[in-house]
A and B are shown apart, each in its own frame.
Chain A
Amino acid sequence: MSTVIETVGLSRHYGSGDTLVKALDAVDLRIEAGEFTAIVGPSGSGKSTLLQLIGGLDHPSEGEVHLAGQPISSYSGRQLSDFRRDHIGFIFQAYNLIPVLSAAENCEYIMLLQGIKADERQRRVATMLQQVGLAGREDRRPSQLSGGQQQRVAVARAMVSQPDIILADEPTANLDSQTGMDLLDMMVELNQRDGMTFVFSTHDPKIMERARRLVYLRDGVVEREERRD
């Protein structure tokens, strides 16, 4: 397997002196293509910070994130935008769909940014929404969908641009347990069928059971790793 993302000595500190908070401290992590990895830890352990740094949403205080061997810290703002657009798919805890766009338009937007032609966009949107079980609901706006359906649209939006890796921050936290498990089943299926790389954060034991790799974080430090092959 090839390495998709690698972090080397990745740290994120807030404040200084006596008020210095090490949200993340020298994390070395390698994500291989096709992995289904869970970042596990209690609240405040640094899960979200780690995902933000991997996704280029924040700058590390120290260390580096490498994409295909290239450090992204050297990227300009525009390059970082392009990096997120072309290589990273995000799934947010609170769905975070654009409320004025329909389910199809939410998925289509990122492909517009990529400059993909209209017919290809429409084909991919139709396929993805069907895969996540939302065929026939393409024109509905987020307010017309349930929480589970909105998160399915978020998964479709994250995957439709065909990124190298999908980062999901507690994607099931706002869903009831059954809907959350259904969503996770769907993500597992997409991982196994399409080989899509998933990294998600969670502290839900039921969800951890589905992950093939678990990375335990505590106080910003990788405490241990666990693989279930």
Chain B
Amino acid sequence: MTWHLALRNLARNRRRTFLTAMIISLSLAALVLTDGVISAMADTMVRSATRLYGGDAQIHQRDYLAARDESFTFGEVAALLDQLDQSEWVEAATPRALAFGMVSSSASNRAVQVMGIDPSREARVSKLANVVVEGDYLDAGGSETQLLIGWRLAQLLEAELGDRIVLSVHNQIDETAEQQLFRVSGIFRFNARELDENAAFILLPRAQQMLGIGQQIHELALNLRQASLAGQADLPLFAQLSNADRIAEGWPQLMPQLDGMLQMTRYSTVIVGVILFVLAALGVINGLFMSIYERVWEFGVLLAIGTRRRVLFGLILAEGLLLGVGAIVIGLVVGVLVTVLVAQIGIDYGGMEVAGVALNEVIRPQLNLSQLIILPIWVLALTLLACLYPAAHAARIVPARALHKSL
């Protein structure tokens, strides 16, 4: 009878019930969409930070990242690449020699990060091969003087395809400045300022020779078959690849600022959720109180004929539960539809950089099980929580006062 009564009480003032339900529904729908956008943005940021160039994980000499000292290299590269090529975890891996250097054109010069790469392996790890907008990607069998620079760097150097560029780095053996002549063979456009303005790519053997590091490298970038695994600091693969000399780490360890940013975006979902929940809860409390005040005499009658206060309390909670369940179904439908619609249209941030990561992709809100299960459970739980106050109020009604002069 409690459910029977609760359902009929909700149907008593359909407009108010609908409006109260809409507060809950739209809050849930907004939360589903917000979570979808933030999830998609976080994924885009991670993907931009990892799959654009950096890789899901990297191996370095243990002290390299802290010191950025070009003498901190590691070897056994061929064996390591063989191991990675055969690993079930790894999709692709590429070696890199890195150095701070200077590029000089006839018009200008500029400090850059020189990156020696293996073209074919690099193409499987980063997007470099896909973002060449002028000229050609590096060819391992081609000229040793091939040089890939970003479009912004080309502008700063006033350099064009085929122009001669002098590249200077610090040779680790004879401790001298090593200068060699290159020709601009390609211009790339990552749409990421850091790379477009400050990076110059040459062939790995040439870089190793200029730096005097033999067959050694500074960095080995790798993509995992399941990208999300890179977030696990204790991934067994990282332990297998690490030794006393080198260390393998996923992107959260390599880019703590990005990890922190993502944590903040998750908190922002919570903050948005709390704001929406508070508004929804106030709406629910208001709706139920209006309903209760209209029925005070009725509660007086129920109490007078022997209804226990606990049953009356349960009746209000039952009304809240039915209201919440109905509102959640509507909210989920609306939330999914809006999220799917926005995903189809997409949100274009136009390459805006967040935490140093360019949002190059059109962001398409994602739907996941958490939005369809966890969020509704939270909404329902908080709706019931919001019902506690009106329910307690109804259960405390004094029948004699409620009935007033009608006994």
In contact, A93 and B305 (Cβ under 8 angstroms): no
Q: Which of B307, B310, B400, B405 contacts A57 (CB 8 A)?
A: B400
Give chain B nearest CB distance to A57 CB in angstroms: 4
CB contacts under 8 Å to B, within A42-78, are 48, 51-52, 55, 57-58, 77-78
Interface residue B14 (Cβ < 8 Å from any Cβ of A): no
Point out the residues of chain A lying under 8 angstroms from B406, CB to CB: 92-94, 96, 169
Q: What number of residue pairs across chains A and B have CB atoms under 8 A from each other? A: 90
**In angstroms, how far is the closest chain A Cβ from the Cβ of B137?**
75
Say whether A169 contacts B306, CB under 8 Å.
no
Query: Do A58 and B400 touch across chains, with their CB atoms under 8 A apart?
Result: yes
* Cβ of B390 to closest chain A Cβ, rounded Å: 18
**B305 near A48: Cβ-Cβ < 8 Å:** no
B309 touches A90 (CB 8 A): no
**A177 sits at the interface (CB 8 A):** no
* Contact size range, A: 35 or more
The stretch among A98-106, A130-138, A181-189, A214-222 that forms the contact with chain B is A98-106
Given the complex of chains A and B, what is the CA–CA distance between A99 and B309 in angstroms?
Answer: 20
Alpha-carbon distance A157/B301, docked complex (angstroms): 12
B298 touches A51 (CB 8 A): no
Using CB atoms, name the residue of chain A closest to B10: A100
Q: Judging by beta carbons under 8 Å apart, are A101 and B5 in contact? A: yes
User: A57-B399, A90-B407, A167-B407 in contact; A98/B304 too (CB < 8 A)?
Assistant: no
**Contact: A96 with B301, CB < 8 Å?**
yes
Known contacts A52-B400, A57-B403, A92-B407; is-contact A98 B298 (Cβ 8 Å): yes
- 1/0 contact string of A76-93 vs chain B (CB within 8 Å): 011001111110101011
Q: Is the Cβ of A99 less than 8 Å from the Cβ of B400?
A: no
Chain A residues whose C-beta falls within 8 Å of the C-beta of B1 in the assembled complex = 105, 108-109, 112
B303 is an interface residue with CB less than 8 A from chain A? yes
Once the chains bind, are A57 and B5 in contact (CB under 8 Å)?
A: no
Q: Do A51 and B306 touch (CB < 8 A)?
A: no
Cβ–Cβ < 8 Å partners of A101 in chain B: 5, 8
Chain A, range 149-181, C-beta contacts under 8 Å to B: 157, 161, 167, 169
Let me know if A78 and B301 touch, CB within 8 A: no
CB closest chain-B residue, reference A55: B304
Output the nearest chain B residue to A171 by Cβ-Cβ distance: B407
User: What 0/1 readout, one digit per residue, does chain B (214-234) give for beta carbons within 8 Å of chain A?
Assistant: 000000000000000000000
Q: B12 at interface (Cβ–Cβ under 8 A)?
A: yes
Contact A109 B305 (CB under 8 A): yes
- 23 A-B residue pairings within 8 Å (CB atoms): A48-B407, A52-B403, A57-B304, A57-B403, A57-B407, A58-B399, A81-B303, A81-B306, A81-B309, A82-B306, A84-B303, A84-B304, A84-B305, A88-B306, A90-B407, A92-B301, A92-B406, A93-B407, A94-B406, A98-B301, A101-B8, A112-B1, A167-B407
5 nearest interchain CB pairs? A85-B306, A169-B407, A100-B8, A58-B400, A94-B406
